[in-house]
Amino acid sequence: MADWPLPPEPVLPTVDRFSMSELESSPYRCPATLSALAPGKDGDRIEVLRNDEGHTYAVEDGIPNLTHPRELLERVAATAAAYNQMAGLAYEAAMEWQFAAAREDEETVREKMVDLLHLMPGQRVLEIGCGSGRDSFRIGRRLGGSGSLFLQDLSRNMILCCREKLTTEAAEGKTACDLRFHVSNASYLPFEDGFFDAVFHFGGFNEFGDQRRAANEMARVTKLGGRVVFGDETVAPWLRGTEFEKIVVNNNPLFKNRAPIRMIPHCAREVAIRWIIGGCFYLIDYTKGEGLPDWDLDLPHRGRRGGTLRTRYFGNLEGVTLETKQKALEAAARSGQSMHEWLDAVVRREAENQLGDSAE
Contact 205, 232 (CB under 8 A): yes
What's the CATH superfamily of 61-288?
Vaccinia Virus protein VP39 (3.40.50.150)
The residue that leads in pLDDT, 83 or 8, is 83
pLDDT band at 349 (very low <50, low <70, confident <90, very high): very high
Mean pLDDT of 320-327: 91
Distance (Å, rounded) from C-alpha 123 to C-alpha 128? Answer: 16
3-state SS class at 100: helix
In this predicted model, what pLDDT tens digit does every residue of 215-264 receive, in sequence order?
999 999 999 999 999 999 999 999 999 999 999 999 999 999 999 999 99
Phi and psi based region of residue 140 (left: phi greater than 0; alpha: psi -120 to 50; beta: remaining): alpha
pTM of the model: 0.85
Whether the predicted pLDDT of 11 surpasses 60: no
pLDDT band at 5 (very low <50, low <70, confident <90, very high): very low
Rounded distance, CA 162 to CA 166, Å?
6
Residue 8 has pLDDT above 70, yes or no: no
Percent over 90 (pLDDT), the chain:
74
Q: What band does 26 get if pLDDT is binned at 50, 70 and 90?
A: confident
CA angle at residue 111 from 105 to 116, to 5 degrees? 130
For the stretch 169-220, pLDDT in tens is 999 998 999 999 999 999 999 999 999 999 999 999 999 989 999 999 999 9
The whole-number pLDDT of residue 319 equals: 85
Report the 10 Å Cβ neighbour count for 225: 12
The backbone torsions φ and ψ at residue 126, rounded to the nearest 5 degrees and listed phi first, read -115, 130
pLDDT at residue 241, as a whole number: 97
pLDDT for 42 beyond 90? no
CA 260 centroid distance within chain: 11
Closest C-alpha among 13, 53, 58 to residue 39: 58
Measure the CA angle with vertex 301, ends 298 and 332; round to 5°.
115
358 pLDDT more than 80 = no
**Distance from chain centroid for Cα 191:** 13
Strand, helix or coil for residue 275: strand
> DSSP secondary structure string, 204-264?
-GGG-SSHHHHHHHHHHTEEEEEEEEEEEE---GGGTTSHHHHHHHHH-GGGG----GGGS
Taking 60 as the threshold, does the pLDDT of residue 59 lie above it?
yes
Burial group, residue 344, by CB count within 10 angstroms (0-12, 13-18, 19+): middle
The whole-number average pLDDT for the span 356-360 is: 60
| Contact criterion met (CB below 8 Å) for 154 and 205 | no
Could you tell me which residues come within 8 angstroms of residue 19 by beta carbon, excluding any fewer than 6 positions away?
A: 44, 45, 46
Q: Report pLDDT for 10.
A: 31
Instruction: Give the pLDDT confidence of 278-323 residue by residue, as tens digits.
Output: 999 999 999 999 999 999 999 999 998 999 999 999 988 888 899 9
Q: What is the mean pLDDT of residues 143-154?
A: 96
Q: How far apart are CA 306 and CA 329, in angstroms?
A: 12
Identify residue 250 by its one-letter amino acid code.
N
What was the pLDDT predicted at 102?
96
pLDDT for position 21: 43
Predicted pLDDT at 314:
92
Q: Averaged over 52-65, what is the pLDDT?
A: 91
Q: Could you tell me the pLDDT band of residue 71, with boundaries at 50, 70 and 90?
A: confident
**Number of DSSP helices (H) and strands (E) in the chain, helices first:** 10, 11
- CA–CA distance, 65 with 185 (Å, rounded to integer): 10
Cα–Cα distance for residue pair 278/116, rounded to 1 Å: 19
Question: Which of 148, 207, 132, 138 is CA-nearest to residue 180?
Answer: 148
Q: State mean pLDDT over 331-353.
A: 92
Residue 1, pLDDT score: 38
> For 15, left (φ over 0), alpha (ψ -120 to 50), or beta?
alpha
Domain ranges (residues) in the chain: 61-288, 309-359
Q: What is the pLDDT of residues 80-102, one digit of tens each?
A: 677 666 666 777 888 999 999 99
pLDDT at 143: 97
